[in-house]
Amino acid sequence: MARFSIDLKSGDLSNQPNEIIVGIDLGTTNSLVAYVNEGVGVAVKDENKKTLVPSIVHFGNSGRIKVGEEAHRMLVEDPQNTVYSVKRLLGKSYADVEQIESYFGYDVIDDGTDNLVKIKVRDRFYTPTELSAEILKSLKIKVEEELGISVSKAVITVPAYFNDSQRQATRDAGKLAGLDVLRIINEPTAASLAYGLGKNDDQKIAVYDLGGGTFDISILHIQDGVFEVLSTNGDTFLGGDDFDRAIVEHWINEHELGSSLKFSGKSGGQALRLLAEKAKKHLSSNDDYHAYLEGIEFALTKRQFEQLILPILERTIACCQQALKDAKLDVDDIQHVVMVGGSTRVDLVKKLIGNFFQKPVYDDLDPDEVVAIGAAIQADVLAGNQKDVLLLDITPLSLGIETMGGLMDTIIPRNTKVPSKAGRQYTTSIDGQKNLKISVFQGERDLVEHNRKLGEFILRNIPPMPAGLPKIEVQFIINADGILKVKAKELRSGVEQVIDIKPTYGISEEDMGRMLLDSIQNAQTDMNSRAILEAKNEGNHIVHSTEKFLEQNKEVLSPSEVEGIISLKNDLKSAITGDDKDLINSAIQDLNLYSAPIAHKVMDIVIRKAMKGQKV
């Protein structure tokens, strides 16, 4: 469930400014599309000034497909061929949804072709992905009509608890609708972005999302533009629909309608339910409601309504308590509370939640629109139009460690999707080396000094072994929260050390862009520096082994051989202090040419001696 967004994939870097990437809230009950116009997020309206598109698809007998308001009307007329709440089925198997099958008024089945649930309408099978694509297509048309240009790129939101398969199904739905889905982001993250909360430092936010049929509470930690989901809780069958149901029940009891056919059955039930929803919405800004249906007067006061829904709201508070507990936080730790979802228009909801968190809630923006607007802001960041928001769910820069001579050895290249894991083996360069310092860096340059140091640690207590013998495995593991764990293990002895590092800590989008640009501009210089360093490393290695050779073979070398070797070794040593790689390489070559025959001679002597010692 990561988070976070700057996209530095090469394709996205080349986005033309002014290109519009839209943000889409694909909801269970309602969906909508938004875009950023001159820095401000706007939700797209239809000809009736409505921004919400009911997430409903109707299949007519002529094969005509209706989406949104038109399909909503068919819910009463033609319920079997009208599909709603398809988001509940996205990325799920039949076994996942078997228990809730009766909730759907249409056929939810297992057609045996794959693991995924299907929906049967008029003798045809549809995947939830295809149905979601119909909703997305209608949103695409809606925004294209408003802007008068074609739109092909989008950011789509999903609940924070969506798993990989649900996220993938959402992505696929976008693709089917002709949209290039640049990013899937979490709904609570989007809502926080809409309130500009991504820009401030180190804060914890509760996002309370009460929609039509679902309730989600998410606790987020925002630090340096990185959104981390600390915990989520909620109820996938709790929402505004329950308010409607409570009102219907109240009226049925009040008027003793239990046996009345007019108010039961599919269409009669729907009519009363729609009236209840109307009453509920009316009471968000009025103190009482009344209307006539089938000659009966249905009335409700705000006080009555609040009494009816109090038990439902208490259930949401229990979820909030659990979410805080899971995040190991107290109410005081939460700096901001964001209201999302149509049902948070109800005064009592805002009052109770404000009381629970002991602070005023954010409700200035339209709770129906905040998620789509946040997605649009994210899209605008991806389009390159905003500079001060940073979100990541890829590694924006390469991660690696420092090797001999200050070289950067990349272990996880940039643009790798998180979570991710990669490793490499290293060894020591000194005989009997006991400790190995592992310095972790982020950046694209060949020399670590040009990259950003993220942290370092020492692998201690390596048993003494000759240089080159220890096998040290360094592993980088980035979890879904964007936290990098670095493990180093000496495989022969099993000595191990682990540290946690925040890879994106303190990097602004601007810094990141600069670091990437630097790496491109300095590629040539870097190649040269790398060649110099490699020459120096090799030179040092040869100086070291030559000294060892001289020390070990004192008795068998002639004084002139010793003198010759020492003189060439000193030439090499002085070449290493400079930056001329050709000079270093030729000094290496000279020393090798001179000492190779001597080494062979020495080897022969050593072998002969060893043979003599043997008793044949």
Q: Under the criterion CB under 6 A, does residue 240 sit at the interface with ligand ADP?
A: yes
Nearest residue (CB) to ligand ADP, 213 versus 234: 213
Nearest residue (CB) to ligand ADP, 73 versus 601: 73
- At its nearest, how many Å lie between Mg ion and the CB of residue 133? 19
Which of 5, 28, 82, 170 lies at the binding interface for ligand ADP (CB under 6 A)? 28
- At its nearest, how many Å lie between ligand ADP and the CB of residue 525? 53
Which of 198, 213, 400, 539 lies at the binding interface for ligand ADP (CB under 6 A)? 213
Task: Check if the beta carbon of residue 428 is closer than 8 Å to that of residue 467.
Answer: yes
Rounded to an integer, what is the distance from CA 434 to the centroid of its chain?
A: 39
Selection from ligand ADP, Mg ion, none that 428 binds (CB < 5 to 8 A by kind) is: none
Nearest residue (CB) to Mg ion, 216 versus 393: 216
If you ran DSSP here, which 8-state letter would residue 602 be given? H
Nearest residue (CB) to ligand ADP, 31 versus 127: 31
Nearest residue (CB) to Mg ion, 27 versus 198: 27
Q: Under the criterion CB under 6 A, does residue 216 sit at the interface with ligand ADP?
A: no
- At its nearest, how many Å lie between ligand ADP and the CB of residue 31? 7
- At its nearest, how many Å lie between ligand ADP and the CB of residue 151? 22
Which of 159, 198, 341, 503 lies at the binding interface for ligand ADP (CB under 6 A)? 341
One DSSP character per residue, 190-225 reads HHHHHTTTTSSSSEEEEEEEE-SS-EEEEEEEEETT
Number of H helices, E strands in the chain: 15, 26
C-alpha span between 281 and 303 (Å, rounded): 14
Count of residues in contact with ligand ADP, rule CB under 6 A: 21
- At its nearest, how many Å lie between ligand ADP and the CB of residue 518? 44
If you ran DSSP here, which 8-state letter would residue 506 be given? T
C-alpha span between 352 and 363 (Å, rounded): 14
Give the burial class of 193: count Cβ atoms within 10 A of its Cβ; 0-12 exposed, 13-18 middle, 19 or more buried.
Answer: buried
Nearest residue (CB) to Mg ion, 177 versus 375: 375
Selection from ligand ADP, Mg ion, none that 212 binds (CB < 5 to 8 A by kind) is: ligand ADP
Nearest residue (CB) to ligand ADP, 348 versus 602: 348
Which of 23, 188, 234, 342 lies at the binding interface for ligand ADP (CB under 6 A)? 342
Nearest residue (CB) to ligand ADP, 239 versus 396: 239
Q: Under the criterion CB under 6 A, does residue 284 sit at the interface with ligand ADP?
A: yes
Q: Which residues contact 509 (CB under 8 A, 6 or more apart)?
A: 6, 225, 381, 387, 388, 389, 390
| 512: its two tokens | 């990141």
- At its nearest, how many Å lie between Mg ion and the CB of residue 216? 8
Task: Check if the beta carbon of residue 391 is closer than 8 Å to that of residue 3.
Answer: yes
Q: Under the criterion CB under 6 A, does residue 502 sit at the interface with ligand ADP?
A: no
Interior/surface letters 441-460, b for 16+ CB within 10 angstroms, e for the rest: bbbbbbbbebbbebbebebe
Task: Check if the beta carbon of residue 374 is closer than 8 Å to that of residue 351.
Answer: no
| 113: its two tokens | 């072709």
Interior/surface letters 142-174, b for 16+ CB within 10 angstroms, e for the rest: bbbeeeeeebebbbbbbbbbbeeebbebbbbbb
Which of 198, 212, 234, 539 lies at the binding interface for ligand ADP (CB under 6 A)? 212
Nearest residue (CB) to ligand ADP, 170 versus 428: 170
- At its nearest, how many Å lie between ligand ADP and the CB of residue 75? 14
Q: Under the criterion CB under 6 A, does residue 312 sit at the interface with ligand ADP?
A: no
Which of 142, 280, 450, 489 lies at the binding interface for ligand ADP (CB under 6 A)? 280
Q: Under the criterion CB under 6 A, does residue 234 sit at the interface with ligand ADP?
A: no
Which of 1, 5, 7, 29 lies at the binding interface for ligand ADP (CB under 6 A)? 29
| 44: its two tokens | 């797209």
**Side-chain half-sphere exposure of 219, counting CA atoms within 13 A:** 23
C-alpha span between 509 and 81 (Å, rounded): 48
Which of 30, 316, 428, 553 lies at the binding interface for ligand ADP (CB under 6 A)? 30
- At its nearest, how many Å lie between ligand ADP and the CB of residue 87? 8
Selection from ligand ADP, Mg ion, none that 214 binds (CB < 5 to 8 A by kind) is: ligand ADP
Q: Under the criterion CB under 6 A, does residue 27 sit at the interface with ligand ADP?
A: yes
What part of residues 352-371 is at the interface with ligand ADP (CB under 6 A)?
368
Give the burial class of 589: count Cβ atoms within 10 A of its Cβ; 0-12 exposed, 13-18 middle, 19 or more buried.
Answer: exposed
Q: Interacting stretch for ligand ADP, rule CB under 6 A, among 37-45, 112-120, 239-247, 298-306?
A: 239-247
- At its nearest, how many Å lie between Mg ion and the CB of residue 22? 17
Selection from ligand ADP, Mg ion, none that 345 binds (CB < 5 to 8 A by kind) is: ligand ADP
Question: Can you give the binding site for Mg ion, defined by CB under 5 A?
Answer: 27, 211
C-alpha span between 389 and 193 (Å, rounded): 9
C-alpha span between 34 and 182 (Å, rounded): 15
Task: Check if the beta carbon of residue 203 is closer than 8 Å to that of residue 359.
Answer: no
Q: Interacting stretch for ligand ADP, rule CB under 6 A, among 21-29, 193-201, 463-471, 548-556?
A: 21-29
| 26: its two tokens | 């694909």
Residue type, 577: T
Q: Interacting stretch for ligand ADP, rule CB under 6 A, among 66-74, 206-214, 511-519, 561-569?
A: 206-214
- Structure-derived torsion over alpha carbons of residues 125, 129, 134, 137, reported in degrees to the nearest 10: -150
Q: Interacting stretch for ligand ADP, rule CB under 6 A, among 89-97, 211-219, 292-300, 454-462?
A: 211-219
Nearest residue (CB) to ligand ADP, 238 versus 438: 238
Q: Under the criterion CB under 6 A, does residue 346 sit at the interface with ligand ADP?
A: yes
Which of 132, 343, 504, 529 lies at the binding interface for ligand ADP (CB under 6 A)? 343
Cross-strand bridge partners of residue 458: 437
Cis amide prior to 413 (ω within 30 degrees): no
C-alpha span between 412 and 394 (Å, rounded): 11
Which residues are the active-site residues? Answer: 25, 87, 187, 209
Residues in contact with ligand ADP by the rule CB under 6 A: 27-30, 211-214, 239-241, 277, 280-281, 284, 341-343, 345-346, 368
